[in-house]
Amino acid sequence: MYRSVAENKKTASNATPEHSGGITIKSPRELELMRRAGRIVAATLALLRGVVRPGMTTRELDTIASREIQRLGGKAVFKGYRGFPAAVCVSINDEIVHGIPAGRAIQEGDLVKIDLGVSVQGYIGDAAITVGVGEISPEARSLMKATEQALEEGIKVARDGAYLGDVGVAIEGCARAHGYSVVREYTGHGVGRFLHEEPQVPNYGSLGTGPRLRSGMTLALEPMVNVGDWRTRVLENKWTVVTLDGSLSAHFERTIAIRDGDAEVLTRW
């Protein structure tokens, strides 16, 4: 789950209602709790990737995820977050993010985006995957590959001493090289005790701009990449974000910890 660039209020379902702001450096204990949360996120996403099939409803995915998170000893962070009614966001095709699980049946050829967060003793892991259901179009396959590659390119440059803008340049550069656009109205974010912490992490930027990254910072990097234009709109349910032009969208996300060398992926699947 991520935030709009216009959003300034920061809350979490497992902590005090208001976050005072500022970038935080996590202690070794905090990082270990986030690793534990991240492992549950990764295991749950792996399970969901394996069970998605035509005819299954998005609500069934939410039920499976809720049971698995509980079985593994975590807490589903999204459920109840600002009134969101489910443990996972499930968004299909032109839906970018924040899709609400319901009775909608998944179809052959769909691109299904699954986003979930888990807390362990108050510390959070957050990640998302895009799954192609059955036989998908060459365009859909290319979009998925490019989006995941863009995420990996962002992770490569996210290390101690780099600038946040460098990460955005790497992500957008990869997406644009494949002919796609990155969503600009929603961003990645810091994560830890709160689901949304500072800094915001745009999927675009300029080299050498933004905050300097420091060891111990924890970020949720999450490129949202569209076949068409980057602009978006929100459906009447006040949650689901879709592409303005109806084009296909993909989404991948990982929680990482900044280090002196390569970033540590806390939600590696």
What angle, rounded to 10 degrees, do the helices at 138-157 and 164-177 form?
A: 160
Per-residue pLDDT of the chain (269 residues; tens, 9 = 90+): 655 554 433 333 333 333 557 999 999 999 999 999 999 999 999 999 999 999 999 999 999 999 999 999 999 999 999 999 999 999 999 999 999 999 999 999 999 999 999 999 999 999 999 999 999 999 999 999 999 999 999 999 999 999 999 999 999 999 999 999 999 999 999 999 999 999 999 999 999 999 999 999 999 999 999 999 999 999 999 999 999 999 999 999 999 999 999 999 999 87
Return d(Cα 103, Cα 29) in angstroms, integer: 41
Return d(Cα 199, Cα 192) in angstroms, integer: 12
Selection from 241, 203, 206 nearest residue 219 by Cα: 203
Return d(Cα 136, Cα 133) in angstroms, integer: 7
C-alpha torsion sign, points 227, 230, 231, 234? positive
CATH class of 3-265: alpha beta
Radius of gyration over every alpha carbon of the chain, rounded to an integer in angstroms = 17
Kindly report the pTM of this predicted structure. Answer: 0.93
The predicted-structure confidence for 57-74, as pLDDT tens digits, reads as follows 999 999 999 999 999 999
